[in-house]
């Protein structure tokens, strides 16, 4: 089962066409991911204490159906890819409307930033376990580590 969270389309989430704007989809996905980490014992304070944080290298958003003001939203999270050392990951969020239709999918490729050295790092074992505990997508891929030497 994927990790899920619920929310709704807020007033600042709507664009001039009356539907949910791009950055609101990204915000919903990011919030869902942080809710997952918090539920698994890694709230923002824990990341800060360990001097490590998740960063995004890029997002791929695919729109399927419109969302409008105050529409309820369910956001799902699955693991779509992971480097063997955990330094790079790919997370898949699905935004689902109340009628069950997929409104959008967001695939985010990211990594772990050492907050002191300001470079990518390998996550601690317990954080890696939190990632690997996620339900995997059908197209899960083993990713190359950005830290591997050529």
In this structure, are strands 102-114 and 88-96 parallel, antiparallel, or unpaired? antiparallel
pLDDT by residue, tens only, the chain of 150 residues: 999 999 999 999 999 999 999 999 999 999 999 999 999 999 999 999 999 999 999 999 999 999 999 999 999 999 999 999 999 999 999 999 999 999 999 999 999 999 999 999 999 999 999 999 999 999 999 999 988 764
Whether the CB-CB separation of 80 and 92 falls below 8 Å is answered with: yes
Whether the CB-CB separation of 124 and 131 falls below 8 Å is answered with: no
Whether the CB-CB separation of 142 and 88 falls below 8 Å is answered with: no
Closest CA to 93 of 8, 20, 25: 25
């Amino acid at each position: 089962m994927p990790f899920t969270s619920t929310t709704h389309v807020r007033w600042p989430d709507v664009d001039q066409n009356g539907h949910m704007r791009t950055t609101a989809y990204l915000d919903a996905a990011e919030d869902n991911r942080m809710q997952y980490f918090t539920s698994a014992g890694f709230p923002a304070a824990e990341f800060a204490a360990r001097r490590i944080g998740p960063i995004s290298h890029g997002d791929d958003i695919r729109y399927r159906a419109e969302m409008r003001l105050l529409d309820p939203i369910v956001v799902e999270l699955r693991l779509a890819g992971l480097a063997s050392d955990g330094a790079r990951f790919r997370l898949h969020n699905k935004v689902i409307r109340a009628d069950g239709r997929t409104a959008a999918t967001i695939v985010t490729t990211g990594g772990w930033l050492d907050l002191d050295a300001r470079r990518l790092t390998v996550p601690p074992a317990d954080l890696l376990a939190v990632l690997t505990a996620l339900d995997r997508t059908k197209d899960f891929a083993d990713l190359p580590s950005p830290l591997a030497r050529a």
